[in-house]
A and B are shown apart, each in its own frame.
Chain A
Amino acid sequence: MALYGNSGGNGSWGRPDAGPDIPGLPDLGGLIARLGGMGGTLKWGAAGLAALILFFAAVYQVEPDEAGVVTRFGRYVRTTNPGLHFVVPLVESVTKVPVERQLKEEFGFRTEEAGVRTRYEDRDYLEESLMLTGDLNVAVVEWIVQYQIRDPRAYLFNVRDIRSTFRDMSEAAMRDVVGDNSVDEVLTVGRERIASQAKDLLQEMNDHYETGISVQQLVLQDVNPPDLVKPSFNEVNEAIQEKERLTNEALAEYNQAIPRARGDAQRLIQESEGYAAERVNRARGEASRFESVYEEYRTAPRVTRSRMYLETISEIMPKLGQKVILDESAANVLPLLNLTNGNRPSSPNPGGANEGNEEGRR
């Protein structure tokens, strides 16, 4: 989370000029000399102790993710790989730099406690994240930078206060890029491009400053409009949703109505075709029937005609409600007929012309 420079365990690495600070060592010679007279055992013991101290002052271990930078009287002499190494005590000193470690800087927010459920600090770092976009709007951009120390010598010796330098560069790079994008690009379509441009720019600046840092990744985190403006951005999203909803509803209605109308239309046509078939067939049938009857009629017109007439009458007569037979001699009775009451069997006819069905049929 923090740059190694300010939180690393090795307190002296940031000041490579500090010599191997082993307390008491310069007085060792005098000590041995003074102890010289005090018997052989003590003498040998002291010599052994001195040798031991010298050994521990000379040996150092470089961890797998580190590189050791060795200076002699403050001057750079070599870089060592992981493993056990020696320096000349008093003359050389070593500074370990975590070259393999992925280091990370956060902008606009701080991880309070990383873990399975990472907690973020609530305080907003608006001064870091608030920036002007190319269309002179304002966006809140949070991002992280992951980097590695590629050149430990450059990292140690070229820039003082490298962490704040690196942060300044990151902020400047991000603002340069965001300043060339519209607020809509920053919020939506341009995110990835912005991240990669800012990364390239940051790497360029690092090369220029010779920090020895290699930028691995720059990732945009939350990118938002400012809090006050957020609701109106959401409103736009809602409006776009609503637009789609309205369109879809209309399309649904369309899709519901049109196929049904086509079906109805098809039915209408089929029906009319049915009608046509029926009509023509009926015509043919009736015509054929007429022709058959006519053939018979032609051979005996009078008989057939009478027969047909009587047959029809005999069929109709029983169905009729009231029958009135008028004698020619009683023609003047007609106006007395009660026409409104067809079902009454009584007849005002005094001539007794009222006949039953039985008789009428005969």
Chain B
Amino acid sequence: MKRRLITLAGGVLGLILLSGSTYTIAETEQAIITQFGQPIGGAVTEPGLHFKLPFIHTVTRFDQRWLPWDGDANQITTRDKKFIWVDTYARWRISDPLLFFQSVRDERGAQSRLDDVIDGETRNAVASYDLIEIVRITNRDFEITEDLIAFASENEEAVRDIEHGRNAITRSILEKASEVTPSFGIELVDVRIKRVNYVEEVRVKVYERMISERQRIAERSRSEGQGRAAEIRGQRERELKSIESEAFRQAEEIRGHADAEAAGIYASAYQRDADFYRFMKSLETYRTALDEGVTLVIGSDSEFLDFLRRSR
């Protein structure tokens, strides 16, 4: 029984020693070993099982992954005096755990140093460029729909070409900040502008500008419609007139030809005896021209009453 107890105690002691002399590093971790606060050796970055002196060596773990840094939105004035909010984010990793441990101690310390560095550089960068440089990346031409062609160049600041663009600006922020961060054992991998927005008061103004711009477009569209309608009406009038007069002309020509032809026919027939024609035509005319409204006063010596008189 006693021997058993001793074996048990030995086993427990062994276990404690074993657990004190080993440690594991996960894929996401790296560590430094300190001996009573004094760093021993370099950083441990290989994941897996590792050994150390129990009780004497202490393991301090750090993250090996890319870590987030999300800045507060900063109100910054651009070079062209636009008031904007700029919200940046960055990714960083602990590249030198020992230096990191010595200079900023832990991630919280690192975050606050990063705040100082990146926020500062962001301010500097944004303040030294015009807003358009921060918004745009390339100088591509906008696609313009038919309705808006006349308004493409209204917004003068927007039509200006950029010289640098957002990517160049963020790259310069990254470069400037990267000059400082290695002294904290930090590698900065990426700084990006997440959000850019007008500050509230400016936003109202921008909205007003957008509204008036749209109203101009609407107005123009309406008057274009009226103009087009008037044009079509004018065209209609013109065509109506031209159709009508053309028809009149043709009709008159046809009539004229017919009249001329008829006149020729009459002339060639009647000229054989103009006297007889006049006689015949006169008789015809009497027939149609004289009616009951006419009072005929006839002399008894007329040809018509010739025999009437003679018989008396």
Bound complex: CA of A309 vs CA of B81, how far in Å? 114
Closest partner residue, chain B, to A330 (CB atom): B300
Instruction: Evaluate contact between A319 and B65: CB separation under 8 angstroms.
Output: no
Residues in chain A near residue B164, CB distance under 8 A? none
Instruction: Evaluate contact between B236 and A279: CB separation under 8 angstroms.
Output: no
Say yes or no: is A50 at the interface (Cβ < 8 Å to chain B).
no
Q: How big is chain A's contact interface, by range?
A: 35 or more
Bound complex: CA of A193 vs CA of B291, how far in Å? 93
Residues in chain B near residue A26, CB distance under 8 A? 15
Instruction: Evaluate contact between B221 and A243: CB separation under 8 angstroms.
Output: yes
Say yes or no: is A226 at the interface (Cβ < 8 Å to chain B).
yes
Number of interface residues of B (CB under 8 A): 123
Bound complex: CA of A261 vs CA of B240, how far in Å? 6
Residues in chain B near residue A321, CB distance under 8 A? 291-295
Chain B, range 198-226, C-beta contacts under 8 Å to A = 198, 203-204, 206-207, 210-211, 214-215, 217-219, 221-222, 224-226
Instruction: Evaluate contact between A264 and B247: CB separation under 8 angstroms.
Output: yes
Which of A55-63, A80-88, A110-118, A232-240 forms part of the interface with chain B? Answer: A232-240
Say yes or no: is A105 at the interface (Cβ < 8 Å to chain B).
no
Residues in chain B near residue A161, CB distance under 8 A? 67-68
Instruction: Evaluate contact between A175 and B196: CB separation under 8 angstroms.
Output: yes
Instruction: Evaluate contact between A136 and B277: CB separation under 8 angstroms.
Output: no
Bound complex: CA of A134 vs CA of B228, how far in Å? 32
Partner among B203, B215, B270, B292 whose Cβ is within 8 Å of the Cβ of A235: B215
Instruction: Evaluate contact between A312 and B240: CB separation under 8 angstroms.
Output: no
Say yes or no: is B63 at the interface (Cβ < 8 Å to chain A).
yes
Answer whether A240 and B258 are a contact pair too, CB < 8 Å, given A130-B197, A165-B68.
no
Q: Please encode chain B, from 172 to 205, with 1 for each CB lying within 8 Å of some chain A CB and 0 for all others.
A: 0000000000000000011011111110000110
Instruction: Evaluate contact between B244 and A261: CB separation under 8 angstroms.
Output: yes
Closest partner residue, chain A, to B7 (CB atom): A33
Which of B25-33, B52-60, B95-103, B108-116 forms part of the interface with chain A? Answer: B25-33
Say yes or no: is A135 at the interface (Cβ < 8 Å to chain B).
yes
Residues in chain A near residue B240, CB distance under 8 A? 257-258, 261
Bound complex: CA of A287 vs CA of B254, how far in Å? 21
Answer whether A316 and B287 are a contact pair too, CB < 8 Å, given A246-B225, A276-B254, A280-B262.
yes
Which of B35-43, B121-129, B141-149 forms part of the interface with chain A? Answer: B141-149
Q: Please encode chain B, from 224 to 263, with 1 for each CB lying within 8 Å of some chain A CB and 0 for all others.
A: 1110111111011001100110111011101101110111
Closest partner residue, chain B, to A295 (CB atom): B272
Closest partner residue, chain B, to A298 (CB atom): B273
Min CB distance B93 to A, Å, is 9
Answer whether A160 and B145 are a contact pair too, CB < 8 Å, given A229-B210, A287-B266, A321-B293.
no
Would you list 7 pairs from A and B whose C-beta atoms are within 8 A, ordered by A residue?
A: A33-B8, A74-B48, A74-B49, A160-B68, A190-B143, A312-B283, A328-B301
> Interface residues, chain B, CB within 8 Å of chain A?
4, 8, 11-12, 15, 24-29, 46-49, 63, 65-68, 70, 89, 91, 131-132, 135-138, 140, 142-145, 147-148, 155, 157-159, 166-167, 189-190, 192-198, 203-204, 206-207, 210-211, 214-215, 217-219, 221-222, 224-226, 228-233, 235-236, 239-240, 243-244, 246-248, 250-252, 254-255, 257-259, 261-263, 265-266, 268-270, 272-273, 276-277, 279-280, 283, 286-287, 290-301, 303-305, 308
